[in-house]
């Protein structure tokens, strides 16, 4: 090959596998059409949603639907929330780079992965032990080193790691568990769906003050119930 001025030719760039490119395009379309179009504007949250490979957190049988606008079954009667809900709850929590966050309801591990790029540490609990084990393995495989996973009853929280700057709950108790309130820092935020399995559920943003909780209803929702341990 002839070169001018003694310059070496530009090295060839490795080709991006077609499947990976298609998934990246689907992820960008998800952010644009499902999240931005519905009012989520936090640039850090949008960047995280565009970066985390949601298809790695769903069963192979439904991987082709990973970036569609609906929840997907992940086994054991549990689901991965639709992308918009993940983005909405994450943005409502207003995560900061130095935060330590507790998640109740690990499920597939996807929400924890989104948070991992936004905060310092994520502690996530899942009552279905096989799901906790699978999520822990997937998070480790994908390099999310600042996430700790525990199998256990989310009603009890993670007291030895408390207090937390923020708590996100991705399953619905009938009332806000007091141990979670106790484990939240003064000035901290909690986003949590509350209501019965068969009745109305409301997503609440709670802020802990020196004198108690401030509660703001933000969205009607439908989550799987928060199960108590035996």
Whether residue 108 lies in the annotated active site: no
**What mean pLDDT is reported for the chain?**
90
Strand locations in 132-226 (E): 147-151, 164-169, 184-195, 201-209, 212-221
Residue 128 falls inside a structural domain: yes
Structural domain span for residue 203: 18-221
Q: Catalytic: which of 64, 81, 108, 196?
A: 81
What is the tens place of the pLDDT at every residue in 192-227?
Answer: 999 987 778 999 999 999 998 999 999 899 898 888
What pLDDT was estimated at residue 15? 39
What pLDDT was estimated at residue 19? 66
What pLDDT was estimated at residue 16? 37
Residue 5 falls inside a structural domain: no
What pLDDT was estimated at residue 1? 35
Residue 7 falls inside a structural domain: no
- Token pair for residue 141? 């495989």
What pLDDT was estimated at residue 200? 86
- Share of residues in the chain with pLDDT > 90 (%): 82
What pLDDT was estimated at residue 199? 76
What is the tens place of the pLDDT at every residue in 15-55?
Answer: 334 568 899 999 999 999 999 999 999 999 999 999 999 99
What pLDDT was estimated at residue 68? 95
164-169 vs 100-104, strand pairing mode? parallel
pLDDT band at 7 (very low <50, low <70, confident <90, very high): very low
For residue 163, what is the domain's CATH number?
A: 3.40.50.150
Tell me the CB-side half-sphere exposure of residue 101, using CA atoms within 13 A.
33
The residue-averaged pLDDT of 89-111 equals: 97
What pLDDT was estimated at residue 230? 61
The SS3 assignment for 121 reads strand
Among 56-65, 71-80, 85-94, 220-229, the least confident range: 220-229
Q: How many angstroms separate the CA atoms of 201 and 222, rounded? A: 6
The residue-averaged pLDDT of 153-163 equals: 97
State how many domains the chain has.
1
Residue with the larger pLDDT of the pair 118 and 22? 118
CB under 8 Å, gap of 24 or more: what pairs does 91-98 form? 91/40, 91/41, 91/42, 91/45, 92/191, 92/203, 92/205, 92/218, 93/166, 93/168, 93/189, 93/191, 93/205, 94/42, 94/166, 94/189, 95/44, 95/45, 95/119, 95/166, 96/165, 98/165
- Give whole-number Cα distances, 56 to 36, 106, 145, 151, 193, in Å: 22, 15, 16, 21, 26
- Answer yes or no: is pLDDT of 104 > 60: yes
DSSP 8-state symbol, 117: T
- Answer yes or no: is pLDDT of 180 > 90: yes
Residue 13 falls inside a structural domain: no
The SS3 assignment for 140 reads helix
């Amino acid at each position: 090959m002839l070169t001018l001025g003694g310059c070496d030719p530009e090295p060839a760039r490795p080709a991006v596998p077609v499947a990976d490119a298609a998934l990246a395009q689907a992820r960008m379309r998800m952010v644009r059409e499902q999240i931005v179009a519905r009012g989520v504007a936090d640039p850090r949250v949008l960047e995280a949603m565009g970066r985390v490979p949601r298809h790695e957190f769903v069963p192979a049988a439904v991987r082709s639907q990973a970036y569609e606008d609906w929840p997907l079954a992940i086994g054991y009667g549990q689901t991965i929330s639709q992308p918009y809900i993940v983005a909405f709850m994450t943005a409502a929590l207003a995560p900061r780079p130095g935060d330590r966050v507790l998640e109740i309801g690990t499920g597939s591990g996807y929400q924890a992965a989104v948070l991992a790029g936004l905060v310092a540490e994520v502690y996530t609990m899942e009552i279905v032990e096989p799901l906790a084990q699978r999520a822990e393995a997937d998070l480790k495989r994908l390099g999310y080193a600042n996430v700790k996973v525990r199998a256990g009853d989310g009603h009890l929280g993670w007291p030895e790691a408390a207090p937390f700057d923020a708590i996100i709950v991705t399953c619905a108790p009938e009332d806000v568990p007091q141990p979670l309130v106790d484990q939240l820092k003064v000035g901290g935020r909690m986003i949590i769906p509350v209501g019965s399995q068969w009745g109305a559920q409301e997503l609440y943003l709670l802020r802990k003050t020196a004198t108690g909780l401030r509660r703001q209803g933000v969205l009607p929702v439908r989550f799987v119930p928060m199960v108590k341990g035996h």
